[in-house]
Amino acid sequence: MTTRRPKAELGPAIRAVPLLAADNVTIQLLSTKQRQQLLSIATKVQHPKGQVIYRRGTPGTWLYFCQEGIVKTYRDLPSGTRRITAFLFAHDMFGLAEAGRYVNTAQAVTPVTSYRVAKETLAAVLQQDAALEYHFLAKLAHELRSSQRRAMMLGRRDAAGRLAMFIILMKRHGSERTADDLIRLPMSRSDIAAFLGQSLESISRATTRLTKLGIVQFQGRYAVRVLDPARLEELASNL
């Protein structure tokens, strides 16, 4: 557990692709000035692995920016089944509320560093700074797209294909920190199952299937190496 000591604190980072600017594919980061402005109203928070950050139904006071680590947001259904609505990674924001209450429960999958800011405060700032607000708009559009992609994923009936999509999804998020072909899956199998809307057993069987097909190779439970990217892609896009 190494705590870094950067000389100049930059404040929350938000990565967003523009919603409206038609042909700008570049990933935009907040300007230093904007970061500092956010920093002045935000608080840095550390969450140990497994900690519940907020619960569904409680007053949605804060908005969070994941700075490091992975967060899951979920709902427990009456039947006892759990549905994970999203995994949040560095630069993602979470804390969606409806009628003043959080709509999901948020929990740290790994140790998490986040910034949190009172929504009231943020709203006031945004009303003053259209440019900053625009970043939030873009970010939200990004979230919407991932949510739609996920819905697309859930539409599939075939387990191996879903898992393939999930691995590829995780690859995109981890590529910055790990080797090219080694993908970390820090969440449990049941988390993956709850995210993909399938039973834990199906996920387990799917992993062994992918392994036996020689497409992937597991390095322990929480890391997977892709041996045959082409076939993985094919499985994922096949349908």
Partner DNA sequence: CGTCATTTTGAGGTATTTCAACGAAGGTGG
Partner DNA sequence: CCACCTTCGTTGAAATACCTCAAAATGACG
Residues at the contact surface with a copy of itself, assessed by CB under 8 A: 17, 19-25, 59-61, 63, 75, 77-79, 81, 83, 85-86, 96-100, 103-104, 119-120, 122-123, 126-131, 133-134, 136-137, 140-141, 143-145, 147-148, 150-152, 154-156, 197, 237-239
- Binding status of residue 203 toward DNA by CB under 7 A: yes
Nearer to DNA (CB atom), residue 6 or residue 80: 80
Joined tokens for residue 228: 């045959």
152 contact, one of a copy of itself, DNA, none, CB 5-8 Å limit per kind = a copy of itself
The contacts of residue 53 (CB under 8 Å, 6+ apart) are: 47, 64, 71, 106, 107, 108, 112, 114
- Binding status of residue 4 toward DNA by CB under 7 A: no
202 contact, one of a copy of itself, DNA, none, CB 5-8 Å limit per kind = DNA
Q: Are 104 and 74 in contact (CB under 8 A)?
A: yes
Residue 68 forms beta bridges with which residues?
Answer: 113
Half-sphere exposure of 227 (CA within 13 A, CB side): 10
User: Interface mask (CB under 7 A) for DNA, residues 118-157, using x and -?
Assistant: ---------------------------------------x
The contacts of residue 168 (CB under 8 Å, 6+ apart) are: 232, 233, 236
Q: In whole angstroms, what is the distance from residue 233 CA to residue 226 CA?
A: 11
Q: How far is the CB of 119 from a copy of itself (least distance, A)?
A: 4
Q: How far is the CB of 17 from a copy of itself (least distance, A)?
A: 7
The contacts of residue 216 (CB under 8 Å, 6+ apart) are: 167, 207, 210, 224, 225, 226, 227, 228, 232
Q: How far is the CB of 187 from DNA (least distance, A)?
A: 8
Q: In whole angstroms, what is the distance from residue 33 CA to residue 28 CA?
A: 14
- Which residue stretch of 9-17, 85-93, 174-182, 204-212 sits at the interface with DNA (rule: CB under 7 A)? 204-212
Q: In whole angstroms, what is the distance from residue 59 CA to residue 101 CA?
A: 5
- Binding status of residue 198 toward DNA by CB under 7 A: yes
User: What residue ranges bind DNA (CB under 7 A)?
Assistant: 157-160, 188-190, 197-208, 218, 220-221
